[in-house]
Structure 1
Amino acid sequence: MIDRYKWYEVVALYAGIALFLFFVLAPFIEGFLVSLKPLSQLFSTPYSFIPKTWSFDSYVNMWTSVPMLGMHIFNSFFISTLVTLIVVMVVVPAAYAFARFSFAGAGLLLGGFLAVNMFSGAVLLIPLFRLMRSLGLLNTYWAMIVPGAAFLIPSSIWLLRTYMMRIPRELDEAAWVDGASRLYTLRRVILPLAMPGIVVVAIMTFIGAYAQQFIFALTFNSKTEFMPLPIGLFAFFGKQEVIWNELMAASFVGILPVMIVIVILQRYLVAGLTAGAIKQ
């Protein structure tokens, strides 16, 4: 028999969840409300969280304030997509190798991956700039794609390696008995079972690539047509004032691609695909 919660325990549980969700969602709710307010209401005294007059003018005017905002959103989506593809292509075989093989220096390499994540991108800007210049990648998409992928690969290897270690080794051995090669086993046996972990890595990589573009774009790029969304949002900061309502509106429109990707891929995030794969 499963013990049922008492009524006051249920109330306390849901109250805790509601409090947690409030602190998580409050900044997004306030940002959305700011996008619906006229600029004059943002500095009124006393300040009102709920708009006195609701208006979607900021969602229309933001395209005029930053004419290339649509291009900035496309650039962010394009850069993040390529970074995600590169990271997944590199991480899948690397994570499988670390999860299945024992070789000299494996622990040292994994420790090195953690050490890389300890460095901020700002610390390496000067050597990265010299590297991008020597490779002729300045003022191109690749100036943001290459360092973006390089900083996200180490943590992705750790994450996917942990997931692949949970896949029973008996599946590999059964494939080898049937004459399958390592590559065939990875492609036909491991990849379908590791798909939830791969999707999680892809989503985290996409979000990370979408969020880290500002410093790389500002340093390695000077052409407006290649600038990502963070640079476009920075344009709402004027010399005399900040157009807060349009900035919030552009921010919410800018995160729509990320939300769409998460909604599309969330059905792959179901755990337990290995259940029943091995006969008991």
Structure 2
Amino acid sequence: MRQPNSMINRYRWYEIVGIYTGIAVFLTFVLAPFVEGFLVSLKPLSQLFSSPYRFWPENGSFEAYRTMWVSVPGFARYIFNSFFISGVATLVVLLLVVPAAYAFARFDFRGRGPLLGAFLAVNMFSGAVLLIPLFRLMRSFGVLNTYLAMIVPGAAFLIPTAIWLLRTYMMRIPRELEEAAYVDGAGYFYTFRRVVLPLAAPGIAVVAITTFIGAYAQQFIFALTFNSKTEYMPLPIGLFAYFGRQEVVWNELMAASFVGIAPALIVIFFLQRYLVSGLTAGAVK
């Protein structure tokens, strides 16, 4: 009788070497900018443009992480603004996307296909193309230089992708569970709240994480266009406003950038188990 391992371990040694070599090359290109940026934050300014180039810092320290809090006025406020804008945008997206994805997954209504196609077509347009119409719209509603001016466009651009992701997940939930609830006398809203939502929780977690990361990453263009007040600036605009108008202190800029992405990394770290379970759910029946 053939052993199970003989069916699984069918790669030759050179194929295994090729696979791991490809993974190593891929990770090198992905991680190299982050490693170089972190090392730059540890170097004194005198070593940044020295010749010959030194990859590893000599007498490196975390001094830039201390001085950048003093050098960048309102740095803590910028981090709070980025986290607040991303968090509220994620909440708005979830409130709209969860029922919409369920409707697209379960109900056959007129125009469902074209509407899904329109949602997908929205992702083909860059946010820069719609900046002028959005600016006029924000000005007409009187929300320029407010959090809403950055939250609403950010959420609008993230909703189509979120609907497609969550709709696909909800289509995997067996209809028989909902039909059994209907037979027992449950209504649509009760079934959605007590049967569908608990089963869709891993998929909702995936959508929430990807939406938060997307909202955190797309703040620059909307904040640069729709806001000019310092108290509402997110981190990318705050760093741009400080380091872009004078001499760039590269080690402090890199230190501020790594501190700025810390909230997103913390969110991913604590929610990664939900992300993994959501991505693998439905793979095995």
- TM-score bucket (shorter structure): over 0.9
CA distance in 2, matches of 1:217, 1:7: 52
The equivalences for 1:100-139 within 5 A come to 100-139=106-145
My pick for the range that moved more, 266-275 or 35-44, is 266-275
Question: What residue ranges of structure 1 are gaps of 5+ in the alignment?
Answer: none
Kept in 2, the 8 Å contact 1:140–1:226? The answer is yes
AA paired with 1:157? I
Kept in 2, the 8 Å contact 1:217–1:231? The answer is yes
AA paired with 1:170? E
Corresponding residue for 2:182? 176
1:163 aligned to which of 166, 169, 189? 169
1:242 aligned to which of 248, 252, 264? 248
Corresponding residue for 2:270? 264
Q: CA deviation at 1:85?
A: 0.2
AA paired with 2:191? T
Q: 1:276 to 1:33 in 2, by over 3 A?
A: closer
My pick for the range that moved more, 109-118 or 87-96, is 109-118
Q: CA deviation at 1:136?
A: 1.5
My pick for the range that moved more, 93-102 or 188-197, is 188-197
Corresponding residue for 2:66? 60
RMSD of aligned Cα (Å)? 1.8
Kept in 2, the 8 Å contact 1:193–1:273? The answer is no
Kept in 2, the 8 Å contact 1:66–1:235? The answer is no
Q: CA deviation at 1:206?
A: 0.5
Corresponding residue for 2:18? 12
Corresponding residue for 1:29? 35
TM-score by length of 1: 0.93
2:101 aligned to which of 95, 98, 112? 95
Aligned length: 277
Q: CA deviation at 1:2?
A: 2.9
CA distance in 1, matches of 2:105, 2:259: 40
AA paired with 1:57? E
Classify the secondary structure of the residue corresponding to 2:243: coil
AA paired with 2:29? F
Kept in 1, the 8 Å contact 2:78–2:233? The answer is yes
Q: 1:40 to 1:239 in 2, by over 3 A?
A: farther
Q: CA deviation at 1:241?
A: 2.8
2:239 aligned to which of 233, 236, 239? 233
CA distance in 1, matches of 2:182, 2:22: 50
CA distance in 2, matches of 1:238, 1:136: 29
Corresponding residue for 1:194? 200
Q: Is 1:75 aligned to 2:81, yes or no?
A: yes
2:155 aligned to which of 149, 153, 172? 149
Classify the secondary structure of the residue corresponding to 1:89: helix
Q: CA deviation at 1:273?
A: 5.7
Corresponding residue for 1:253? 259
Q: Is 1:2 aligned to 2:8, yes or no?
A: no
- What do the CA deviations read for 1:252-280 (whole angstroms, capped 9, x no partner)? 10111001111111122314667999xxx
AA paired with 2:55? F
CA distance in 1, matches of 2:177, 2:190: 12
TM-score by length of 2: 0.92
Q: CA deviation at 1:181?
A: 1.3
Kept in 1, the 8 Å contact 2:104–2:112? The answer is yes
My pick for the range that moved more, 234-243 or 111-120, is 234-243
AA paired with 2:61? S
Kept in 1, the 8 Å contact 2:81–2:232? The answer is yes
My pick for the range that moved more, 83-92 or 127-136, is 127-136
My pick for the range that moved more, 47-56 or 11-20, is 11-20
User: Percentage identity across aligned positions?
Assistant: 74
- What do the CA deviations read for 1:184-214 (whole angstroms, capped 9, x no partner)? 1111111111111111111111111111111
Classify the secondary structure of the residue corresponding to 2:77: helix
- What do the CA deviations read for 1:139-178 (whole angstroms, capped 9, x no partner)? 1111101111111101110111111111111111111111
Classify the secondary structure of the residue corresponding to 2:5: coil
